[in-house]
Amino acid sequence: MLEKTIQSKNPNSIPMMIKAVTEVKTPEGINPTEHNRVCDLVKKLEFELKQAEDTFDKQMRTMRQE
């Protein structure tokens, strides 16, 4: 599932990444390099989501003040 998610049309889809990561039950047999790459990608996506939420909140406050 993880490879399919990464190769899909929109690999930055947070729900897809969460589903792919949660399907991996145990760390046995997981390539550490691949695991680190996915963890870094998840952190990057969480950061981008936080930025988008902050931008949205600022825009909403601005619209309410007008």
C-beta separation of 42 from 17 below 8 A: yes
pLDDT of 8 higher than 90 = no
What is the model's pLDDT at position 39? Answer: 85
The enclosing H or E element of 62 equals helix 32-65
pTM of full prediction above 0.75: no
What is the model's pLDDT at position 25? Answer: 52
What is the model's pLDDT at position 30? Answer: 73
Taking the domains of the chain in order of start, what are their residue ranges? 2-65
What pLDDT digit, counting tens, does each position of 26-59 carry?
A: 466 777 788 788 888 989 999 999 999 999 999 9
Cβ-based neighbours of 62, under 8 Å, separated by 6 or more: none
Residue with structure tokens 């049309």?
9
- Please report, as a single letter, which amino acid is at residue 22: T
What pLDDT digit, counting tens, does each position of 14-30 carry?
A: 676 676 666 655 466 77
**C-alpha to C-alpha distance for 65 and 59, rounded to whole angstroms:** 10
